[in-house]
């Protein structure tokens, strides 16, 4: 902590931060009516980041309460009996002070196929690299040497996606399942398809990606997966073009269209009207045909433009 840095003692309510949501669901300052300001204290990036994270935790709990109360959804801790609720699949770990004696991993992957073990090692290294970079940027003046205890079977976004599929989606009675996957979530979905291809094809009706960072070549997605994605997926990408304008892609997977914004973090919000229309058409196509063949999104958009 810097000598002139205020203590990291933040309120535990929205009112304590002097923020509230208005009738449009926008976060606004109670007194000024202004949107959230990250740089609340000049030249104190670490303190501002911690304030941002503290407020984010409050908003996360608030949204989960709305999902339970207004949408009648049920909150479940995962893994079963582990008592951990995963709020952010990108940070599926709890942080503790590093002990003097190294902790040995209890997992034994000696019986796994070499190809699967190699892929897991590659994903693990890339995940650690991203987290190390993020942590260094977020908190360059860490006071204690810390270690991360990854949540069992949910230690990465890819593992989390497979776990949720196996334990919840695959066991549900829903006949039509729809995915909205933003940014790295698109990569996690492709990995899910690689590991559960037949199950995903039989249960998922359509997939909306928003500024997805997946890469079917680097992830080694097979031909049948690429073909299915071309017919059942669409990626709304950041672009200055109007919503649904076709955007050229160099990858042989799903069509790409403009999300109507060039800001990555707004691509989901801006493209929601188009996404729900896409889902409605996919659902109707599946209901009207025993073997539905969803019209390619890019072709449909060009037809609408004509």
**Nearest to 91, CA basis, from 148, 138, 140:** 148
Query: Kindly report the CA angle at 102 between 104 and 129, in degrees rounded to 5?
Result: 85
Mark whether 77 is an active-site residue. no
- Phi, psi dihedrals of residue 55, rounded to the nearest 5°: -65, -40
| Residues contacting 86, CB < 8 A, separation 6+ | 78, 92, 151, 154, 160
Q: How far apart are CA 146 and CA 293, in angstroms?
A: 51
Q: Label residue 255 exposed, middle or buried (CB < 10 Å: 0-12, 13-18, 19+).
A: buried
**Nearest to 146, CA basis, from 166, 158, 132:** 132
Tokens of 103: 């902790």
Of residues 106, 124, 183, 283, which has the active-site annotation? 183
| Residues contacting 213, CB < 8 A, separation 6+ | 183, 184, 186, 187
Report in angstroms the alpha-carbon separations of 99 from 4, 96, 120, 136, 142. Answer: 31, 9, 26, 20, 16
* Contact between residue 278 and residue 206 where contact means Cβ atoms under 8 Å apart: yes
Active site residues: 183
């Amino acid at each position: 902590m810097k000598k002139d840095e205020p203590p990291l003692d933040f309120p535990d309510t929205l009112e304590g931060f002097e923020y509230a949501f208005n009738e449009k669901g926008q976060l606004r300052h109670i007194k000024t009516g202004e949107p959230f300001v990250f740089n609340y204290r000049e030249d104190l990036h670490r303190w501002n980041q911690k304030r941002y994270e503290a407020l984010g935790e409050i908003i996360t709990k608030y949204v989960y309460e709305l999902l339970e109360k207004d949408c009648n959804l049920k909150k479940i801790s995962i893994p079963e009996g582990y008592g951990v609720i995963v709020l952010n699949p990108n940070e599926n770990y709890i942080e503790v002070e590093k002990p003097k004696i190294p902790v040995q991993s209890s997992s034994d992957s000696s019986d796994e196929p070499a190809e699967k073990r190699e892929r897991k090692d590659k994903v693990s290294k890339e995940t650690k690299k991203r987290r190390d970079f993020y942590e260094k940027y977020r908190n360059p003046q860490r006071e204690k040497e810390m270690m991360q205890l990854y949540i069992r079977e949910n230690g990465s976004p890819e593992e989390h996606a497979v776990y949720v599929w196996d334990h919840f989606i695959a066991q549900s009675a829903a006949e039509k399942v729809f995915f909205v996957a933003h940014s790295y979530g698109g990569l996690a979905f492709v990995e899910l398809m690689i590991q559960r291809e037949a199950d995903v094809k039989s249960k998922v009706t359509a997939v909306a990606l928003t500024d997805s960072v997946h890469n079917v070549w680097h992830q080694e997605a097979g031909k049948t997966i690429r073909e299915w994605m071309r017919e059942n997926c669409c990626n709304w990408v950041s672009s200055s073009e109007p919503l649904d304008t076709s955007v050229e892609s160099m990858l042989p997977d799903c069509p790409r269209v403009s999300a109507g914004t060039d800001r990555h973090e707004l691509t989901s919000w801006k493209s929601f009207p188009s996404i729900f229309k896409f889902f409605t058409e996919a659902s109707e196509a599946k209901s009207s045909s025993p073997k539905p063949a969803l019209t390619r999104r890019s072709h449909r958009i060009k037809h609408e433009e004509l």
